[in-house]
């Protein structure tokens, strides 16, 4: 069913054709304006909010080419579907060159009609979202309007109104830290520190002292006492990012914080109370790690009070275009140039791509495009090779498993700017295994 706000203007000198088209379009939920005179159509284009014009080509007095030309020159944000009962190759080419986005030959089926309308409206939506003047919707500092993100916003609101521990799950690059920040700044703790800690980015021997702090003389080189992240976050929120990377002994210490609300600095036997909210995030499936004995079950249940799933970019539909527009404006401003126009072909590939690195990978790709020599338009040839050929590669069934794996490894590594640690995490292997696969790739 069409959006009730979608208005279609139909122009045809045949009353029978007008009646059939109007009846069919109204049955699909469109608001339809049907006229047989071009002059009346032009008046409606000036006074009504039209999204799509469907016009016959061969009409008396003023033909459809003039209508198409008028729309292109005067009606920004309107798509055109040309129809004709006298098809010629030259006519089709002329219609397209004049500005018609779709071209149908009478008689056409309902399926052909609505397929052409769907394509035209999809193209209109992409153009509007890719326009530099189109401001993407932001909630909690996050860009996204998809159904998946609406569910995230609801979960953030629920979590912010609670004091319970939160577990954020999602693939690398899906914006888990942004969600954690949104929870903190929407809560009663917003006036106190938000402290993110990457449990996978701090070497295990240092993690304990970084989290809990240490006293003077606790170890060689400890010339004085130093507060840890838990103390820094007092009365605020601490994000334990990549909690799945914490060792089992560290998990025991974290469990004590959750159970008792207290820490013990390295080198001290005296516990200290801390008033903090803990938010944890992971790109792994914790309950599966529990089953494998890699994560403590009691800690998992302590963390898993409120769970928020950060959706992968490939499941967020047109949010991809909103984010492309946002990053294009951001990097254009950084490099002191006007945002380029993004071709429909380029946007189509960006929407169809799998995005193993999610929003982080998309940001990297747009940064790469905008750092190139100035161009008023970005098109498919400007994309990295692994993206240009991805559609062909994914559809090919005559490649060996080793070839498919090697291509995927190269894509993931390219998507994260050559960062082998992050690429290994996305692929679910260790660095040694990744190095071996790269030698074969």
- Just give the CATH number of 314-440: 1.10.8.60
Alpha-carbon distance of 100 to 95, in angstroms, equals 5
Whether 299 contacts 276, CB under 8 Å: no
Q: What pTM does this model have?
A: 0.61
What is the percent of the chain with per-residue pLDDT over 90, rounded to a whole number?
30
Structure tokens at 63: 């033909």
CB atoms closer than 10 angstroms to residue 253: 16
Q: What is the pLDDT of residue 85?
A: 75
Q: Assess whether pLDDT exceeds 80 at residue 128.
A: no
How far apart CA 94 and CA 330 sit, in angstroms, is: 38
Give the pLDDT band of residue 181 (cuts 50, 70, 90). very high
Strand, coil or helix: 307 = strand
Average pLDDT on 80-89 reads 73
CA–CA–CA angle 122, 113, 76 (5° rounding): 40
Residue with tokens 């014009």: 53
Q: Do domains 147-309 and 314-440 have the same CATH topology?
A: no
The whole-chain average pLDDT of the chain stands at 82
Query: For residue range 8-25, what is the model confidence (pLDDT) as tens digits?
Result: 999 888 888 888 888 888
Average pLDDT, stretch 17-40?
A: 86
Query: CATH top-level class for 7-130?
Result: alpha beta
Backbone angles phi, psi at 9, to 5 degrees: -105, 120
**248 near 296, Cβ under 8 Å?**
yes
Higher-pLDDT residue of 291, 106:
291
Integer Cα distance of 78 and 51 in angstroms? 5
Ranges of each domain in the chain? 7-130, 147-309, 314-440
**Has residue 164 got a pLDDT over 90?**
yes
The CA-atom distances, in angstroms, between 233 and each of 227, 276, 381 are 10, 6, 48
Residue 401 CB contacts under 8 Å (≥ 6 apart), including other chains: none
**Looking at residue 203, what is its pLDDT?**
86
Residue 414 has pLDDT above 70, yes or no: no
Considering the domain 147-309 in this protein, what is its CATH number?
3.40.50.300
Higher pLDDT, 363 or 352: 363
pLDDT tens readout for residues 130-160: 554 444 555 677 898 888 999 999 999 999 9
Q: What is the pLDDT of residue 275?
A: 93
Give mean pLDDT, residues 433-439: 80
Band of residue 161 on the pLDDT scale cut at 50, 70, 90: very high
- Highest-confidence range of 183-197, 321-335, 362-376, by mean pLDDT? 183-197
pLDDT value of position 295: 96
From residue 87, how far is each of 56, 66, 90, 95, 335 by CA, in Å? 11, 17, 9, 11, 48
Asked whether the beta carbons of 34 and 58 are under 8 A apart, the reply is no
- pLDDT of 280: 97
pLDDT value of position 38 = 82
Q: Bigger pLDDT: 127 or 405?
A: 405
């Amino acid at each position: 069913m069409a959006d009730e706000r979608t208005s279609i203007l139909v122009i045809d000198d045949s009353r029978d054709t007008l009646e059939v088209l109007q009846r069919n379009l109204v049955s699909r939920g469109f608001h339809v304006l049907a006229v047989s005179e071009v002059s009346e159509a032009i008046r409606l284009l000036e006074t009504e909010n039209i999204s799509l014009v469907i016009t016959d080509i061969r009409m008396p007095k003023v033909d459809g080419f003039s209508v198409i030309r008028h729309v292109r020159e005067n009606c920004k944000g309107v798509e055109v579907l040309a129809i004709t009962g006298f098809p010629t190759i030259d006519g089709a080419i002329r219609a397209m060159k004049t500005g018609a986005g779709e071209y149908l030959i009478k008689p056409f089926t309902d399926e052909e009609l609505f397929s052409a309308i769907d394509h035209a409206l999809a193209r209109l939506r992409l153009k509007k979202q890719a326009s530099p003047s189109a401001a993407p919707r932001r909630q909690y500092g996050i860009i996204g309007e998809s159904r998946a993100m609406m569910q995230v916003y609801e979960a953030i609101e629920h979590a912010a109104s609670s004091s319970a521990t939160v577990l954020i799950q999602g693939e690398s690059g899906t914006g888990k830290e942004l969600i954690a920040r949104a929870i903190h700044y929407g809560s009663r703790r917003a006036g106190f520190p938000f402290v993110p800690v990457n449990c996978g980015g701090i070497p295990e021997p240092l993690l304990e002292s970084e989290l809990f702090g240490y006293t003077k003389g606790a170890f060689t080189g400890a010339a004085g006492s130093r507060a840890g992240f838990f103390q820094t976050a007092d009365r605020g929120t601490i994000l334990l990012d990549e909690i799945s990377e914490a060792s089992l002994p560290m998990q025991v210490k974290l469990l004590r914080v959750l159970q008792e609300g207290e820490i013990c600095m390295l080198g001290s036997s005296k516990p200290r109370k801390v008033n903090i909210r803990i938010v944890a995030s992971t790109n792994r499936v914790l309950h599966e790690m529990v089953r494998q004995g890699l994560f403590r079950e009691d800690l998992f249940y302590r963390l898993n009070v409120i769970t928020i799933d950060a959706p992968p970019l490939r499941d967020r539909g047109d949010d991809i275009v909103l984010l492309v527009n946002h990053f294009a404006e951001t990097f254009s401003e950084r490099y002191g140039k006007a945002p380029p126009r993004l071709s429909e072909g380029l946007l189509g590939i960006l929407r169809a791509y799998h995005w193993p690195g999610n929003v982080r990978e998309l940001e990297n790709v747009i940064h790469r495009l905008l750092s190139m020599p100035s161009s008023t338009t970005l098109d498919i040839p400007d994309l990295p090779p692994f993206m240009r050929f991805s559609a062909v590669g994914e559809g090919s069934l005559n490649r060996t498993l080793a070839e498919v794996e090697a291509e995927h490894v190269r894509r993931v590594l390219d998507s994260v700017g050559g960062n082998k640690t992050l690429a290994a995490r996305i692929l679910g292997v260790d660095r040694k295994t990744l190095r071996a696969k790269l030698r074969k790739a």
